[in-house]
Amino acid sequence: MEELRKRGVIVECHHPRLDTSDPAGRLVMAVLADLAEWGARCAHRAHGEGLAQARKQGKTVGRPPMLDAQQRANAVTMREAGITRAEVAKIFGVSLATIRRVERSWARSTPGDSTGITRQVGLHFTRPNGRVPQESVGSLCRERSGC
């Protein structure tokens, strides 16, 4: 409000009658602005408290993951075997961005070389809608790298 006043802007509200060119009008506008800020902060805090309470009760908060843990491990194994992100994304029916996020999170969660960890999981590929047969996925992996 002060910035507008410095620029020569005068705000006039017709109902209720407020004029920021006089001190009383500026006071009322300042109070209204503070109340709006206070309301926004209260809403933000209540939202955070609600999320914390839901987590405490064991509820999952946010959007569900596109791939389960087994599928994420399989996607990383396929990428390590040389299959392109586009092919992996098509197999699992997800976007390229999802595969990139899986790779980044996998790299952060597994210190050092994750090859041994991913190899132990094995290749059990399933697409969320179940339309890609497991044999075709396994053969694609074997064609590319011999895994």
**pLDDT, tens only, 114-128:** 443 433 344 444 445
pLDDT at 134 over 50: no
For 133, residues 6+ apart whose C-beta sits below 8 A from its C-beta are none
Token pair in block for residue 136: 């075709």
User: What does the domain layout of the chain look like in residue ranges?
Assistant: 2-56, 69-145
Structure confidence at residue 113 (pLDDT): 46
* Predicted TM-score (pTM) of this structure: 0.45
pLDDT tens, position by position, 38-60 = 999 999 999 999 999 999 999 88
- 3-state class (DSSP) for residue 13: strand
Assess contact for 65 and 107: CB atoms under 8 A. Answer: no
pLDDT tens-digit series, residues 64-117:
889 998 999 999 999 988 899 999 999 999 999 999 999 998 887 765 544 434
Q: Environment class of residue 73 by beta-carbon count within 10 Å: exposed (0-12), middle (13-18) or buried (19+)?
A: buried
The per-residue pLDDT for 105 is: 87
Q: What share of the chain is helix, strand, coil (3-state, %, to 5)?
A: 65, 5, 35
For residues 34-41, average pLDDT: 92
DSSP for residue 132: S
> Which pLDDT does position 24 carry in this prediction?
86
Give the C-alpha separation, 146 to 137, whole Å: 13
